[in-house]
Structure 1
Amino acid sequence: MATLSNIEFLTAHNFYLELILDGSGQADAVFLECQGFQCTQDVIEVCEVTSNKWGQAQKGLPVRTKVPGNVKIGNLTLRRGASNSLTFWNWFKAVQEGNWANQRQDLALNILNKATQRKARYELSGAWPTNYKISDVNARSNELALEELEIAFEGFKRTM
């Protein structure tokens, strides 16, 4: 059990995302930004009338209870510097061509402490790309060109 004296707060900038697409066993990218790690629980409100009467009422007492409903998982957005790699594009293209069932991947977000030790891990399962985007280009800009991939996923759990 964590006590206040041994809680370590982690920073958002020290992370890596494990995503292996080409079968090489190597992670496919260094990401600048990962957004959308979200899992929410719907709330269902049930209203029942009990047999208990209250005040001058001739009918029972209404009671409201909140119970958990379906779990919803958001989409993930990954951003990295654009490069000559076709890995993301080929993954997106395979899904477009109807081969999506074979393209589903598992990935994991690892958050590191200042000593670069993994302190938190979130695993996502059944991930596949839904949107591919490159940043706008401008001849007067000196900003890094970005490649963006939106990924749908089915499972979300924290393992450490």
Structure 2
Amino acid sequence: MAQNGNVVHELNYVLPNRFYVEIDSELTASFMQCSGIGFTMKKNSYAEGGVNEQERIYLGPVTYSDVTLQRGITDSLTFWEWAYGSLDPATPTKRRNINIVLFNQAGETMQCWTLIGAVVTGFKGPQLMANLPAQNATAAIEQVIVSYEGLRIQRSGGGGAMMNLTRDASGYFGSN
């Protein structure tokens, strides 16, 4: 509120052109497009006897859709180790809890999606052109497809603190 008693509306612009991937509390990659974050639940309807104006809905198992990140850059070894971890037959698949973070113009977290047990299931490199000068030492990525086992969404203040989910002895990530 301003000193003259009038309400001041401060705009908090979200920067929609960058989605950052955070692994182990480190921003490891930046992408211009992110799609597919979501889930569906199977529903079963049951008509209860004597209740004609409504039906009961029972929820079944949840299915998470794949996330597609497009047009990105990274120079992080952590990101590449995670992305290529599923290709090495000598090591178990490297599932990680990752955050996809959206910031506002002040650098504050506006939205954070935590993908639990995430693994890369698809990758496309960029179109390479030899006549363009190299701007820096980052590697371009055309598309990364990520599959995951669970989802947490936090409106603001997300990020590193949400990375503390670990698998239990049975191999599952615990619920909060």
Tell me the TM-score normalised to structure 2 length: 0.59
Shift of 1:12: 2.7
Shift of 1:38: 0.9
Q: Which amino acid aligns with 1:121?
A: C
Q: Is the alpha carbon distance of 1:26 and 1:113 closer, same or farther for their aligned partners in structure 2, counting shifts above 3 Å? A: closer
The structure with the largest alpha-carbon Rg is 1
Q: Which amino acid aligns with 1:69?
A: G
Asked if structure 2 preserves the Cα contact closer than 8 Å seen for 1:15 and 1:109, the reply is: yes
Q: Is the alpha carbon distance of 1:44 and 1:148 closer, same or farther for their aligned partners in structure 2, counting shifts above 3 Å? A: same
Q: Report the count of equivalent residues.
A: 140
Q: Is 1:111 equivalent to 2:102 in the alignment?
A: yes
Q: Which amino acid aligns with 2:27?
A: A
Asked if structure 1 preserves the Cα contact closer than 8 Å seen for 2:119 and 2:148, the reply is: yes
Q: Distance in 2 between matches of 1:69 and 1:6?
A: 43
Q: Which amino acid aligns with 1:154?
A: E
Q: What are the Cα deviations for residues 19-67 of structure 1, in whole angstroms up to 9, with x where unaligned?
A: 35xxxx643222222221112222211234x2x4xxxxxxx96963222
Q: What are the Cα deviations for residues 105-147 of structure 1, in whole angstroms up to 9, with x where unaligned?
A: 11112222233211222211101111121245689xxxxx643
SS in 2 for 1:114: coil
Match of 2:61 in 1: 70
* CA RMSD between the two structures: 3.7
Asked if structure 2 preserves the Cα contact closer than 8 Å seen for 1:10 and 1:111, the reply is: yes
How much identity, in percent, do the aligned residues show? 25
Which ranges of structure 1 fall in alignment gaps of 5 or more residues?
53-59, 140-144
Asked if structure 2 preserves the Cα contact closer than 8 Å seen for 1:92 and 1:131, the reply is: no
Q: Is the alpha carbon distance of 1:74 and 1:47 closer, same or farther for their aligned partners in structure 2, counting shifts above 3 Å? A: same
Correspondence list, 1:18-33, <5 A: 18-19=22-23, 26-33=26-33
Which ranges of structure 2 fall in alignment gaps of 5 or more residues?
1-8, 131-139, 156-176
Match of 1:57 in 2: none
Asked if structure 1 preserves the Cα contact closer than 8 Å seen for 2:19 and 2:34, the reply is: no
Correspondence list, 1:18-57, <5 A: 18-19=22-23, 26-48=26-48, 50=49, 52=50
Larger strand proportion of the pair: 1
